[in-house]
C-alpha cells in the first residue's frame, strides 16, 4: 500500500497542513481524517523516523506526578496495547512495568506522593522498599535504594512500526504524506494563516499545525512567533544481546538513568547529560558513555563487562516548565502548536493526536488546551511535572 507521495503530487489546497511527519504529526493527521476534517497534508523535511520518533527508547508509562498527565497516559497506554490489533502492525508491545528508584528520603517522599495520586486515578502503582525491588529485579543493587515505585501496566514498544502504522492508517484515510518536503514559508494575510509554501509549490490551507518537535521554533519563526522551547541532544545506546534477565524498565529520577532489555536481549538506555552543545548537533559523545556506564554499572553491576554495539542521538524538545505547547496561537488565527513534549512526545502522541483532532474540530477538552497554551508564558501561570527522565 502506498503511504507517501512525491512532490509532483502536492495538492493546490487542503483543509489542514501538518508540518512534521513524526509520530505526533501522523497521529494528529490520522485522527483528524477519522473525524472528517477533509483533505489533510503532512509535510516532512526528511524521511519518516528521521527525528525523535525513530531515535527514542520506546517507553510508555502512566507514572507521572500530575493528574493531567496520569489520566492522559493511562488512556495512551490502552491505545498502545490495542495498536497492533487496530492498525494491523506488530509494535512488540511488552507490558513489564516501570520501576522508579529513589536513593534519598526526599526523592522517596516525591515518589510516595506520586504513587498516591496515581492510585487515586486508577493505576495499580505500588510504593515498595529495597526488598520489593529485589523481587522484581534481582540484578539491581539495592544497597542505597530507599524506596521505589512500580506500575506493572507501564510498557515498552518498538518505535519504528508505531510510526509506520500511523503512516499506513493515514494513507487509508487518504491523507497525503510527503517526505523530503520542507516548508520554506507559512503564508498569512496578516491576521490568519492562508497556506504554506515548499520550494516546489504553494498549498492554500486555513489551518497549519506545527508538529515539528525540536524544530518547531524554526517553523514558528516563519511567522515571527518566538517559542520558549529548545532542542536538547539526548543520547541512547544499545548493547550486545544477552539472555533475558531484566523484566521491568528501570529508571532513576535523580540521575536520569533508564534502561530496559529488549525482546532481542539488548540493554537499551540513556541518562541525563546537561553538558551538550546547543543547537542541532546529533553527534554521539564519549562523555555520555562515561556517565551512562558509571550509573548503569552502579545500578546493575553485572553489566560491567557488556559490550556496546550502537550509540545514537536525537533531540528532546525542552520547555521551561516541563510541559507541552499545545493549541491555537492567539497571535495568528489558524496556526496550531503540538510541540514541547520534553522527550515524551512518542508516548503521548497516541492520545494527544486524538484529543487535538477532537479539540480543533469539536472544541473538546478546552481546559487541557487552555493550560498547555503558549499564552501561559505571557501570564506567568507556569506548570510543574517532576517525573521527567533524561
Residues 251 and 309 in one domain: yes
Write the CATH number for 189: 3.50.50.60
Residues 150 and 166 in one domain: no
- Look at residue 69 and tell me if it is in a domain: no
Number of independent structural domains in the chain = 2
Q: What pLDDT does residue 284 have? A: 93
Residues 36 and 181 in one domain: yes
Write the CATH number for 112: 3.30.9.10
The residue assigned the cell 517526505 is 179
Max CA distance (Å), the chain = 64
Residues 343 and 243 in one domain: no
Average pLDDT over the chain reads: 95
Mean pLDDT of 162-180: 97
Residues 26 and 135 in one domain: no
Q: What pLDDT does residue 169 have? A: 97
- The answer to whether residue 132 scores a pLDDT higher than 90 is yes
Residues 236 and 303 in one domain: yes
% of the chain surpassing 90 pLDDT: 91
Work out the pLDDT band at 155, boundaries 50, 70, 90. Answer: very high
8 A C-beta contact, residue 209 and residue 16: yes
Residues 126 and 188 in one domain: no
Residues 262 and 292 in one domain: yes
Mean pLDDT of 185-193: 97
Give tens-digit pLDDT for 15-28: 999 999 999 999 99
Q: What pLDDT does residue 113 have? A: 96
Give tens-digit pLDDT for 286-307: 999 999 999 999 999 999 999 9
Give tens-digit pLDDT for 206-263: 999 999 999 999 999 999 999 999 999 999 999 999 999 999 999 998 899 999 999 9
Domain of 256 in residue numbering reads as: 95-154+230-318
Q: What pLDDT does residue 1 have? A: 46
Residues 375 and 234 in one domain: no
Residues 264 and 311 in one domain: yes
- Helix %, strand %, coil % for the chain, to 5? 35, 25, 40
Q: Nine-digit cell at 165?
A: 502504522
Q: Are strands 40-43 and 176-178 parallel, antiparallel or unpaired?
A: parallel
Give tens-digit pLDDT for 25-75: 999 999 999 999 999 999 999 999 999 999 999 999 999 999 999 999 999
Q: Where are the alpha helices (H) located in the chain, listed in sequence order?
A: 23-34, 67-87, 105-120, 130-136, 159-172, 216-221, 286-299, 345-362, 366-371, 376-379
Give tens-digit pLDDT for 85-110: 999 999 999 999 999 999 999 999 99
Amino acid at each position: 500500500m502506498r503511504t507517501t507521495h512525491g512532490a509532483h503530487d502536492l495538492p493546490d489546497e487542503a483543509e489542514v497542513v501538518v508540518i512534521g511527519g513524526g509520530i505526533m504529526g501522523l497521529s494528529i493527521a490520522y485522527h483528524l481524517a477519522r473525524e472528517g476534517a477533509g483533505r489533510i497534508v503532512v509535510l516532512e523535511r526528511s524521511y519518516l523516523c528521521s527525528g525523535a520518533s525513530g531515535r527514542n527508547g520506546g517507553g510508555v508509562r502512566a507514572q507521572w506526578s500530575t493528574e493531567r498527565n496520569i489520566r492522559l497516559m493511562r488512556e495512551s497506554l490502552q491505545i498502545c496495547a490495542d495498536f497492533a490489533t487496530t492498525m494491523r502492525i506488530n509494535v512488540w508491545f511488552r507490558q513489564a512495568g516501570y520501576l522508579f528508584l529513589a536513593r534519598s528520603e526526599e526523592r522517596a517522599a516525591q515518589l510516595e506522593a506520586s504513587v498516591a495520586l496515581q492510585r487515586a486515578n486508577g493505576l495499580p502503582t505500588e510504593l515498595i522498599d529495597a526488598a520489593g525491588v529485589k523481587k522484581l529485579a534481582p540484578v539491581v543493587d539495592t544497597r542505597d535504594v530507599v524506596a521505589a515505585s512500580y506500575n506493572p501496566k507501564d510498557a515498552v514498544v518498538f518505535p519504528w512500526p508505531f510510526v509506520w502504522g500511523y503512516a499506513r492508517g493515514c494513507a487509508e484515510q487518504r491523507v497525503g504524506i510527503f517526505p523530503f518536503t520542507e516548508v520554506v514559508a507559512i503564508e498569512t494575510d496578516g491576521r490568519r494563516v492562508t497556506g504554506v509554501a515548499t520550494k516546489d509549490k504553494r498549498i492554500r490551507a486555513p489551518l497549519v499545525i506545527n508538529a515539528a518537535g525540536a524544530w518547531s521554533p524554526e517553523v514558528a519563526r516563519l511567522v515571527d512567533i518566538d517559542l520558549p522551547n529548545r532542542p536538547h541532544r539526548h543520547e541512547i545506546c544499545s548493547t550486545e544481546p544477552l539472555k533475558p534477565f531484566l523484566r521491568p524498565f528501570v529508571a532513576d529520577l535523580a540521575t536520569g538513568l533508564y534502561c530496559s532489555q529488549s525482546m532481542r536481549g539488548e540493554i537499551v538506555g540513556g541518562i541525563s547529560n546537561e553538558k551538550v552543545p546547543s543547537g542541532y548537533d546529533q553527534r554521539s559523545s564519549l562523555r555520555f558513555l562515561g556517565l551512562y556506564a558509571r550509573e548503569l554499572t552502579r545500578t546493575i553491576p553485572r553489566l560491567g563487562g557488556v559490550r556496546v554495539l550502537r550509540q545514537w542521538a536525537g533531540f528532546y524538545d525542552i520547555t521551561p516548565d516541563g510541559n507541552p505547547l499545545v493549541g491555537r496561537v492567539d497571535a495568528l488565527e489558524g496556526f496550531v502548536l503540538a510541540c514541547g513534549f520534553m522527550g515524551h512526545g512518542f508516548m503521548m502522541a497516541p492520545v494527544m493526536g486524538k484529543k487535538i483532532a477532537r479539540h480543533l474540530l469539536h472544541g473538546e477538552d478546552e481546559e487541557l488546551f487552555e493550560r498547555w497554551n503558549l499564552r501561559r508564558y505571557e501570564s506567568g501561570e507556569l506548570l510543574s511535572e517532576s517525573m521527567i527522565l533524561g
